[in-house]
Structure 1
Amino acid sequence: MLDERSDRLVASMKLNRHINRTKPLYQDGEAVDLLIADETPLGFNAIVENAHWGLLYHSDLNAALQPGQRMQGYVKTVRPDGKIDLRLDDTGYQRISPLTQKILDKLKESGGHLDLDDSSPPEAIRYAFGVSKKSFKQAIGALLREGRIRFEHGGVQLVDVD
């Protein structure tokens, strides 16, 4: 921020005085930009859209987050007291279709084999695709039902569909 008296750039760890206190007008499921602030016993506090406090619960996370990390998240709910509950993954089946395409693209890039499957650690899946293990399992399940992949040697193999 700029110091009002000296017009110089300054930094502060006292974030609360800069957070918007008005009731947030976000909708459930809305995509928002997050800045991870700090860890609490419940999860990670995040600054939502550079304006409001939100919370990512430990139970909703598959990997550790770092203060200062920026990412996209989704509004889980805005509680009556104005606090925002967040999640990292979109909900519903609309998150699966783009993910299935990402998996197919990654399979084609790697010669048809991917060393991830439904028994892979959540951290490896989050690192490779930026999604939860649940989302990944749903996407590879959809690809398996379509006959586009098969499980093979601790991963998935692209099936030649000609």
Structure 2
Amino acid sequence: MIKFGDYNMLKVKREATFGLYLDKETGNTSDDILLPNGNIVGDTPKIGDEVQVFIYRDSKDRLIATMKKPKVTVDNFAVLKVTSITEFGAFMDFGLERDILVPKREMKYTMVPGNEYLVFIYEDKTGRLAASTEVGRYLDLPEEDQYKVGDTVTGIVYDKQTNGTLEVAIEEKYMGIVLKNEYFTDIRPGDRVTGTIKRILEDGRISFTPRKKMIEAKEELSDTILDYLKDHEGFMPYNDKSTPEEIRKQFNSSKNYFKISLGNLMKKGLIRQDEKGTHLK
């Protein structure tokens, strides 16, 4: 049986000026699958040879074979680049001459041409290959004890909840989340994040944080503050009375970490504060 959207080993049955016909083994010549000349890689196979081909559909919905390798096969995940947006969906570079469509109903968020996103490849009701950004329903949960608190993990964001929680596909296969209070930059679907596991939730999802350990974050933020002061004639209009929003916008940090860093710099005698802001000594 033919595996649609996947690789198959088929025998060359007959030749034509525009390509080779591969035996579908139905006993019906009209079922033979065309391998166009443009889809042949390397030496042209001969009648009777077995070839490995990927099976998909052409623009006229006919089964077609190619010796070229797409970036992903059916029922699998892939990070693909958006090539164009239309009124009925987004097209992504699939690695073959035809881009693959993300139907509008399968676009969970606004996609931007040129950006890459994690998608799941499936066969739609019409028998065509399509892609979906609704990857959460296809992700797995890791095996028990596969990860532990303190491990470093990397994933790609596939959704952002209304409360700001990021949904992340760890290793592009496991369900993970990053809570709103664990990040301070503008992170969107398609972005990659690396962090440390804080909890393994009861439902099996992995909760992790991209924030560095406090001592690392304090030292890095202290350097950032000093660089800012040096670049702005020794003054900044921010101090430990500034709002969390101001701190987050300017320094991509929590106010708590900001205050700790200011205290560290004052203890070292490098800065002073007043009601206007912070000064370099």
The TM-score normalised by the length of structure 1 is 0.75
Higher share of residues assigned helix: 1
Partner of 1:95: 217
Q: Does 1:19 align with 2:152?
A: no
Matches of 1:156 and 1:115, distance apart in 2: 6
Matches of 1:122 and 1:40, distance apart in 2: 20
Partner AA of 2:189 in structure 1: G
Where structure 2 has 5 or more consecutive residues not aligned to the other structure, the ranges are 7-54, 57-69, 71-92, 95-99, 101-130
Higher share of residues assigned strand: 2
Aligned residues between the structures: 156
**Runs of 4 or more consecutive aligned structure 1 residues displaced over 6 Å after TM superposition:** none
Distance 1:12 1:54, change over 3 A: same
Instruction: Choose which of 197, 200, 205 in structure 2 pairs with 1:83.
Output: 205
| Superposed displacement of residue 72, structure 1 | 4.3
Distance 1:73 1:121, change over 3 A: farther
Identity of aligned residues (%): 23
The structure that has the greater radius of gyration is 2
1:41-80 equivalent positions in 2, closer than 5 A: 43-58=165-180, 60-61=181-182, 67-68=188-189, 70=191, 71-79=193-201
Matches of 2:253 and 2:217, distance apart in 1: 9
Instruction: Choose which of 128, 137, 159 in structure 1 pairs with 2:250.
Output: 128
Matches of 2:231 and 2:239, distance apart in 1: 17
Partner AA of 1:68 in structure 2: P
Q: Does 1:138 align with 2:260?
A: yes
Matches of 2:161 and 2:185, distance apart in 1: 10
Q: Which 10-residue stretch deviates more, 138-147 or 114-123?
A: 114-123
| Superposed displacement of residue 104, structure 1 | 0.6
| Superposed displacement of residue 83, structure 1 | 1.5
Distance 1:92 1:62, change over 3 A: closer
Matches of 1:63 and 1:99, distance apart in 2: 13
Matches of 1:124 and 1:69, distance apart in 2: 26
What SS class does the counterpart of residue 89 from structure 1 fall into? coil
| Superposed displacement of residue 109, structure 1 | 0.9
| Superposed displacement of residue 76, structure 1 | 1.6
Distance 1:72 1:50, change over 3 A: same
Matches of 1:132 and 1:26, distance apart in 2: 26
After superposition, the CA RMSD in angstroms is 3.0
Q: Which structure is higher in RCO with an 8 Å CA cutoff and minimum separation 6?
A: 1
Matches of 2:151 and 2:246, distance apart in 1: 25
Q: Deviations over 1:61-90 (max 9, x none)?
A: 576856416244432223465311123422
